[in-house]
Amino acid sequence: MRKRVNYSVLFLVSLLFCIPFPGKANTHSVAEGEGNGWTEGYDLSFRDSKNNVLSLNQLKGKVVVINLWATWCPPCLAEMPSLDQLYQDFKGNDSIIILSVDIDGNLSASRKFMAKRKYSLPVYQLNSALPNELSTTSIPTTIILDKAGKLVIKHVGGMNFGSQKFRKSLLDLSKE
């Protein structure tokens, strides 16, 4: 019985590192002209389950939505249906790309997780370290880069990707 209680306490404490406190979700919007744009020298890249590498430099000219998550993170799981729907709705838009990045890097487990829930959103893992400007200590974290590669939004905490305001913002960015 004591062991079970200890595991429960350990689990609850570990959730504190994953779940932002209510009302404390952090959205950092970057003012125009701030933030770094695409740089030829920096090679932030992602790897998919087929070992294909996708670098941010390849995505120049596209709005990039990067969602950092893990299968063990309750807020990540809560936002996943709306993220998958966002992917479904925008996958035909050549100027917007959505990258679902499992921070644990276990693509096999991530693919099983996605298949079990019938999500079609492809999953990536980091193939290189995030630059300081994009790094985070909490998940989920959503990062949006404009077509010039400038950081527009860095949101720490769960999101509703189905909101009209969010979708309009993405479309507006894609038209710039």
Q: What is the pLDDT of residue 1?
A: 55
How many other CB atoms are found less than 10 A from the CB of residue 84? Answer: 19
Domains of the chain, first to last:
2-175 (3.40.30.10)
> Buried b / exposed e across 47-83, counting CB within 10 Å, b at 16+?
bbeeeeebebeebeebbbbbbbbbbebebbbebbebb
Q: What is the pLDDT of residues 13-31, one digit of tens each?
A: 343 334 343 333 444 444 3
58 has a pLDDT exceeding 60: yes
Q: What is the pLDDT of residue 42?
A: 60
Q: Do the Cβ atoms of 103 and 70 come closer than 8 Å? A: yes
92 has a pLDDT exceeding 60: yes
Q: What is the pLDDT of residue 16?
A: 38
